[in-house]
């Protein structure tokens, strides 16, 4: 589905592949370049210089190609055999660092794991626990809310609701 959408409107497939920022940026740039190219080529050709029309068309084609390349890269990374191993290693490192009270290392490992897959409920639960332990209650509240959204099986339902109930308001 994301491939078909990305072919039609570059960047939309990236949004589905959880790369919202790059997908939105590529879609916006494609549309902006495409609009200038259409205006200069068919709608009001006398109002836009021919060179600008060609540059805009080249920009639109470049954005289309870039969106396909970025999506291909993202989907390849998600389907890589090493992907799950890397994520599991990062989760293990974060768990050990949290157990040892080395929150900086745990944070680095979890940020890397979230960059790989920000919809993994285990990684998000560890992130929520870490934010709670670090006293970053606003971030912890958002993280526990995200865990509740992602936890389809209800594995973390009790822990998340208990944490949200006990977290201080504000901050």
| Residue 114 near residue 85, CB atoms below 8 Å | no
* pTM (two decimals): 0.60
Q: Cα separation of 72 and 77, whole Å?
A: 9
Q: Length of the chain, please?
A: 171
Q: What is the DSSP letter of 45?
A: T
Please identify, in words, the CATH class of the domain defined by 81-166. mainly alpha
pLDDT tens sequence across 87-123: 889 999 999 999 999 999 999 999 999 887 888 899 9
* Backbone torsions φ then ψ of 131, nearest 5 degrees: -65, -35
pLDDT tens sequence across 12-34: 777 777 678 888 899 999 999 99
Query: Could you state, in order of their start, the residue ranges of all structural domains in the chain?
Result: 2-78, 81-166
Closest CA to 5 of 83, 54, 75: 75
């Amino acid at each position: 589905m994301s491939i078909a959408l990305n072919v039609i409107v570059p960047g939309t497939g990236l949004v589905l592949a959880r790369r919202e920022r790059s997908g939105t940026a590529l879609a916006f740039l494609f549309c902006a370049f495409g609009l200038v190219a259409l205006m200069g080529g068919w709608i009001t050709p006398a109002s836009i210089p021919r060179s600008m029309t060609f540059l805009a068309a080249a920009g639109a084609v470049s954005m289309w190609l870039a969106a396909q390349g970025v999506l291909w890269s993202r989907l390849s990374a998600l389907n890589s055999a090493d992907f799950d191993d890397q994520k599991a290693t990062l989760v293990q490192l974060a768990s050990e660092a949290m157990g040892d009270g080395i929150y900086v290392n745990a944070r680095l490992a979890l940020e890397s794991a979230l960059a790989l897959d920000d919809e993994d409920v285990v990684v998000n639960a560890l992130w929520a626990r870490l934010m709670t332990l670090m006293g970053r209650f606003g971030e912890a509240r958002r993280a526990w809310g995200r865990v509740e959204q992602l936890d389809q099986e209800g594995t973390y339902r009790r822990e998340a609701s208990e944490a949200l109930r006990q977290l201080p308001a504000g901050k």
